[in-house]
């Protein structure tokens, strides 16, 4: 994979450089609630602009239906990107109100050396996510007309076979940006020559979302800690009562098989010993106090749903992480968005910050939780920008966006 430093070394002054970023940030109206993904691509854009390139930045945001939708506009992102780039971007960050239309062509055409333009949401065009090769290719052709060189730096999208991720690099000279180079380097440390003990912490709602990564990591990890909604399917597989907790009954046989296989491989599975439960799901908008109670994980009473790992589980998980040399964490331990059920996720994050291990937070809700709970991002070895992409890489899958950047 050719690097951005090689590209800049060859000279980019005056060239139109297309940067496929991942600026899919959470929005509350026009307010960005977490700008982590914007900050992550700033080093790549700054390097190019400082070298005199005319930088065309593109990204998706949310899941619009292939047509313009104001609630998914990248306009707020353009403003924040301009603030973060400061004087690096000559004339600030210009915003094109379409993707490949008159506004995009005019705005890109008006750029001076060192200028930066952000195109409107790529997914406003149906060709971006089309499963039809010709439709995607047609959009890629139009995007290629806006640039001379392609820089892939949207790690959170590299597992998607989309026009701007997969098809466009084939039409232009292409290199990897700093973010993708960093993310791939981190993932290699989790899959090749791993320092042991190697602990994996997996949470989130559905066990079905993590089956592939569990299957693959059982061959590499020394212990796997399970939390979040997916834990209750594991507890059911152990024969425990799960009350009204989130459960995927159809996955219980598969999970039983994983637990049996783990014993054969000598991989330790760590499950909650107690949980924080309630009679109903809490209100995440008002954060109104609920009625949490701690119960044994071996028998959650009928009428109660588990919403977080309990205090004894937090101590157990911290102990299981204390001696690790490598830790990968993906998925919260509970409903961290509500203060009554955030302590399990906080305990795991704290254990990682206290550890001398190489610690990786696998993007998505885990990264959001770290920031929401007030942890210093620099206290972790790496916080990924792509939860889904990280998981698919760890499953051993070929990621289209990375394959497209290979020479």
Question: Can you say which residues are annotated as belonging to the binding site?
Answer: 22-24, 37, 60-63, 123, 160, 210, 306, 337, 363-366
- Of the residues 152, 243, 388, 401, only one is catalytic, namely 388
Catalytic-residue membership of 388 = yes
Q: Determine contact, residues 258/210, Cβ cutoff 8 Å.
A: no
Give the Å distances, CA to CA, from 58 to 20, 94, 208, 318, 365: 5, 12, 32, 41, 23
Cβ contact 127:119 at 8 Å: no
CA-CA distance, 337 to 328, in Å (whole number)? 21
* DSSP result, 239-279: T-EETT----GGGHHHHHHHHHHHHHHTPEEE--SEEEEES
Continuous segment of H or E residues that includes residue 191: helix 178-191
- Tokens encoding 315: 């101590």
* Catalytic status, residue 364: yes
d(CA 9, CA 3): 10
Secondary structure tally for the chain: helices H, strands E: 14, 19
Q: Residue positions in the annotated binding site for substrate?
A: 22-24, 37, 60-63, 123, 160
Binding positions for ATP are: 210, 306, 337, 363-366
**Catalytic position from the list 16, 37, 161, 320:** 37
Please give the sequence-ordered ranges of beta strands (E in DSSP) within 39-167, or none if there are none: 54-58, 93-95, 116-118, 149-152
Q: Give the span between the Cα atoms of 405 and 407, in whole angstroms.
A: 6
Of the candidates 177, 331, 362, 364, the residue annotated as catalytic is 364
Look up tokens 């900050």; give the residue.
39
Query: Which conformational region is residue 331 in: left (phi greater than 0), alpha (psi within -120 to 50 degrees), or beta?
Result: left
Strands 293-296 and 274-278, by their bridges, are: antiparallel
Beta bridge partners of 268: 223
- Given 80, 206, 220, 238, which residue is catalytic? 206
Helical pair 36-50 and 75-85, crossing angle rounded to 10 deg? 60
Is the CB of residue 159 less than 8 Å from the CB of residue 184?
A: no
The total number of residues written for the chain in this structure: 407
- Residues identified as active-site: 37, 206, 364, 388
């Amino acid at each position: 994979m050719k690097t951005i430093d090689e590209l800049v070394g060859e000279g980019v002054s005056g060239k139109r450089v297309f940067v496929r970023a991942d600026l899919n940030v959470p929005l509350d109206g026009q307010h960005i609630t977490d700008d982590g993904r914007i900050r992550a691509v700033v080093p790549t854009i700054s390097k190019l602009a400082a070298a005199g390139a005319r930088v065309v930045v593109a990204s998706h945001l949310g899941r619009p239906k292939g047509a313009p939708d104001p609630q998914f506009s990248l306009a707020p992102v353009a403003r924040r990107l301009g603030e973060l780039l400061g004087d690096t971007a000559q004339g600030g960050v210009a915003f094109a109100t379409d993707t490949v239309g008159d506004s995009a062509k005019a705005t890109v055409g008006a750029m001076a050396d060192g200028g930066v333009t952000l195109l409107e949401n790529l997914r406003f065009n149906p060709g971006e996510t089309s499963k039809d090769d010709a439709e995607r290719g047609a959009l890629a052709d139009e995007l290629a007309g806006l640039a001379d060189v392609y820089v892939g730096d949207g790690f959170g999208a590299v597992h998607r076979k989309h026009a701007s991720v997969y098809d466009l690099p084939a039409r232009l000279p292409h290199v990897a940006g700093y973010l993708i180079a960093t993310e791939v380097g981190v993932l290699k440390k989790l899959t090749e020559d791993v320092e042991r003990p190697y602990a994996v912490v997996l949470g989130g709602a559905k066990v079905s979302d993590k089956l592939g990564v569990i299957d693959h990591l059982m061959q590499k990890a020394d212990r796997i800690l399970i939390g979040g909604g997916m834990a209750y399917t594991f507890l059911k597989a152990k024969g425990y009562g799960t009350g009204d907790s989130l459960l995927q009954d159809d996955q219980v046989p598969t999970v039983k098989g994983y637990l049996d296989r783990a014993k054969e491989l000598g991989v330790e599975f760590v499950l909650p010993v107690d949980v924080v439960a309630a009679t109903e799901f809490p209100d995440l908008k008002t954060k109104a106090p609920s009625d949490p109670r701690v119960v044994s994980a071996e028998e959650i009473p009928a009428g109660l749903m588990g919403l977080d790992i309990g205090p004894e589980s937090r101590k157990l998980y911290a102990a299981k992480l204390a001696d690790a040399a490598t830790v990968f964490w993906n998925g919260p331990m509970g409903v961290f968005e509500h203060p009554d059920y955030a302590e399990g996720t906080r305990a795991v994050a704290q254990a990682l910050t206290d550890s001398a291990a190489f610690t990786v937070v696998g993007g998505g809700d885990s990264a959001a939780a770290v920031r929401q709970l007030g942890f210093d991002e620099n206290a972790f070895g790496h916080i990924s920008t792509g939860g889904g992409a990280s998981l698919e890489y760890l499953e051993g899958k070929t990621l289209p966006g990375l394959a497209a950047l290979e020479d």
